Chain A
Amino acid sequence: MAVILQSEPFDPGQLLGSFCAGRRETGAVASFTGLARAEDGATMTLELEAYPGFTDAAIEDMAAAAAARFDLQDLLIVHRTGPIAPGEAIVFVATAASHRRAAFEACDHLMDWLKSRAPFWKKEHGPDGARWIEPTDRDRTDAGRWDEESKP
């Protein structure tokens, strides 16, 4: 099991290839890659702030719980931090299990948690300046954007 926070871009295909390599008892690997959207030019750059030592520890705790709950053989989470351009991958999750249902469900579960609860602070830089995205603001002023984002 590995959780990696990094500011450098990553290649999801390469991560998936490495994750699958050398497995003889794994029947299923599910993966998810999240990309930064331009939102019709409204977002020029996304900036994700993490608290090193706190953010990764929280993700590791949650990942360990998910691994136990879904009986995973292995999982990998790679998450970008810092400025992220539209089209770049923000997050990569891969899960390995004996059978596909557990791999799918665990991947879905991990992404739901990462999207809503992971301790990141997200700033959108657009043509009209920058703004922090917070759940409370979302509810009050921008429910539509967040609803759209939370769709699977």
Chain B
Amino acid sequence: MLLFGRLADVAGWREKIIEAASLSALRTRLAEADAGLGEALSGPSVQVAVDKTLTRGDLPLTATSEVAFLPPMSGG
């Protein structure tokens, strides 16, 4: 999974391999490991992309799923 923008600064990393069967399970695991990051990821302005497509709600994940958490985009 990938973190962008300020989320990577909050976490102190940008990329990690994490085992989770669904998006909600992934969120739970991330929040358990780092409460600050969990809170940052749950903000209403943070979007989620699975395999480079924006998504909403929960979704099952596979071993090859790429999940990215995207804070508000600034434009170029």
Residue total for A at the interface (Cβ-Cβ under 8 A): 25
How far apart sit A118 and B72, CA to CA, in the bound complex (Å)? 11
Chain B residues touching A, majority SS: loop
Q: Is the CB of A121 within 8 A of B76?
A: no
User: Total number of A-B contacts with CB less than 8 angstroms?
Assistant: 62
Enumerate chain B residues within 8 angstroms of A85, measured Cβ to Cβ: none
Q: Would you call B1 an interface residue if the criterion is a C-beta within 8 Å of the partner chain's C-beta atoms?
A: no
How far apart sit A115 and B72, CA to CA, in the bound complex (Å)? 13
Contact of A114 among B5, B9, B72, B75 (CB under 8 A): B75
Q: Is the CB of B75 within 8 A of A117?
A: yes
Q: Would you call A91 an interface residue if the criterion is a C-beta within 8 Å of the partner chain's C-beta atoms?
A: yes
Q: Is the CB of A136 within 8 A of B52?
A: no
Q: Is the CB of B52 within 8 A of A132?
A: no
CB A101 to nearest CB in B, in angstroms, measures: 25
Q: Is the CB of B71 within 8 A of A121?
A: yes
How far apart sit A52 and B74, CA to CA, in the bound complex (Å)? 16
Binding site for A on B (CB under 8 A): 2, 4-6, 9, 45, 49, 52, 68, 70-76
Binding site for B on A (CB under 8 A): 34, 48-49, 51, 53-54, 57, 79, 90-91, 114-123, 132-136
Taking A49-B4, A121-B4 as given, write out 17 further A-B residue pairs in contact, using a Cβ cutoff of 8 Å, ordered by the A residue number: A34-B76, A49-B5, A51-B70, A53-B52, A54-B52, A57-B52, A91-B76, A119-B70, A120-B75, A121-B5, A122-B74, A122-B75, A133-B74, A134-B71, A134-B72, A135-B75, A136-B72
